[in-house]
Structure 1
Amino acid sequence: MSEKTKISAGQIGVFVALMCMYFIGPMHSAVNVASQDLMNVYGVDASAVSYMVSITNLLEIPAALVIGLVAGRKLSYRVCALLATALVVVGGVPTILGSALPWWGIMATRCILGLGLGCFMPIVMGVISLMFQKESVRATMMSIASVCFNVGMILLTSLAGILGAISWNLAWGIYLIALLPFVMCIFLLNPKNVPAVPQEDEKGEKVKIKLPVSGWVLLVLFLGTIIMSQSLFNLGGVSIGAVVGNPAVIGTVFSLFSVGAIASAVLFGPAYKFLSAYAIPVFWIIGLVGYVLWFVAHATGNVVLFYVAIILAGFGTNTMTVGVPMLLSTFVAPAIVGAVMGFSYVFQNGGGFLASPIDQVVLSIAGTDAILSSVWIFNVVLGVILLLGMFWVAKKANAAKKAEVAEK
């Protein structure tokens, strides 16, 4: 916002609409609060309910990839945003119909919801990149988006629980919030507020979807950090449970992951202004310390250390969630930012899916008796390798920036 960046009232409205989309973004699993009621009402088992939740997450991946390829190039961002938010609103239909909707109808709305939620990241990050050309400003805006994402995760999950306590179908009401950005995008997401996507490069040639090697390396590093994060959530309960058997304590510890995530989102913008791309590896060091302390907490039985460890882990992991889209947006032309954001989302969700089988491979080699030490040692070694890769990418990014400035 500094350096005389001028933003009109309409652009502020667009940004608010985008933040509303990101606020809803992490809510594919919030209806877990109604799992038992669903089983009672529809006569389905726990595996069916689990599939109902996971199918949404699964469909977000192809949706993000496809919308990234067409947003701003084949279809305007306005059309894409309206389509995405409309799909999410359809996902909230069970709020109104309740048990009048058959089980296959519940599943259908969940699939539609997944397609809508999957479109959010390429749209939000693509429009932010067009509106805020200055890197330091763009980093701040992406940090704000990450804050909205994590705050939304906390508040809307709680709201879904409150609504679900009244009636199971009301938990789906959180998806109807998408009506707000839908209406705002109708009136505000237009050429007056959002610059047109340039279809040609400086040489007058059509912009092709092409990501440099450092960009692909960054995506692989992102995949690795998400694998580590999901591994923590997969086995973290076991490690805490071995020290304290109180479920409330375990739940409280895990909730602090979002505290660390919000802290990194708030600090990333200012840090990027001074450290540029090096902000990512510097912040990741903090996350890596968190993973080490997690194992120390388990080994020593120090409950307080669990709290500290997960805050630091959340800080480091969310740095990648903010930093990867930011850095990718500097690697490519504005015309294909949406596309690379789709790639980013695929790698992000892919890490979540790969964590469990990778943990199983580690355990099959080391043995289940060493479940915590083997998996945590693997993750720490992986984290150090990722750190080295991050410094390499940061060095390449800064060198490219200096070369670009020298040419001008």
Structure 2
Amino acid sequence: MQPVRRSSRLRSSVASSSGNQSSSEPPATRTNSCKQARRRTRCTPPPEPSEEEVESLSETNASDEDSGDSDASMEENFLPQETRYEASRATFQALYQANPQFLRPTKPPRSARFATSAALARYRDLKERKFVDHQSLTLTDEKLADIKKVILHSGLIYAVIDADAYQPAVVREFIANIPDAVKRGDGLGVYVRGSLVDFSPELINTMYCIPEVAEDPDWLHEDIDKVCSFLSGERVNRWECMASKYPTLTNQVLYKLVCSNWLPTMNCTSMNQERLRFIYMMYHHRGFNFGKIAYNQILTMAGKTDKDKKRRIIFPTLIQQVLLFQRVVPPDDHDEEETGFPKTVVKDGKAGRGSGADSSHPDLADDIDRAISALKAIRIRLRRGDYTVQEASQSQAADEDAGEDSG
């Protein structure tokens, strides 16, 4: 599937999300507002690398000799974050001046911070939770040139070069108010500090200048054995043999970024099929909607604030940026100091050098033979009386799981 070129026109999230917010709005006013938003909400994506560059990215020892000139060219073409955000805020402000009802919640809010009493209770559940901090990419670090090329090809480059501190109290309030939000187009109108803000997959994509592509829902079902082989430089050919030491050095760094920025978790050493497929998709640009992926994760988190209170809050930087993309949210007396500046991702020279990989290609007949041999060994040990029933059950369950994975 071929993605739309970076120079193609990006969708205007302001027009689509706000244009459907109120049926009482006069048609002429709404049409003019949408046209105005389309004219003003623009993003200048960086140049797209050549196919030859992309194809070499999975190699463990990819050459970076010619990266200097291309990196300088890319940096010159990146549109500064504040320039984009100022233009977007001006567009939203003009839209809201013409349509002030877009800012007003449908029901009187409990306070300037919470839409309902239930939102306040959810905020209290979130109060002690820590955050999964965002990681950023330094464009001038030549050691990360290969990482930059993969991310640039995937269309996610602005999601790692845009960096902001976040206001912990504001982020928690935003999440706490989501269950009481009003429906707006493909997203929501969320109550934040006295008025509503837009929140939708399309707004996230526009904010990060992610080009529009035809979404391929099958990326989540990519053959995991093939994914492991690709990301490990063909040292591992089976999922059950995959460990954190086997991805190449480039893919080790990409896995860290996936764990912090795109499918957040604090467990960056345990291999996860969805995260590995995400990296594979980045190389092959299999048409994905990142805005939708992030949006759904945030909604799921907002619906479970009373469960597993040790879980960290994900996407704090993205949430802060969603607000800054529309208006500045000044702190109040209840706010904590701004914190959580994104960390800078680095390469670990010792990573990606795992040795001892012994992974044959999947073969059902071989798996069955190994399972039979293991069961025979268990029977012999049971007859000798030196093998407990519990140990036998655990061993058999492990063999069955291995058989299911290979099948």
| TM-score for both structures, normalised by structure 2 | 0.30
Is the strand fraction higher in 1 or 2? 2
- TM-score, length basis structure 1: 0.30
Q: Indicate the structure with greater helix content.
A: 1
Bigger radius of gyration among the two: 2
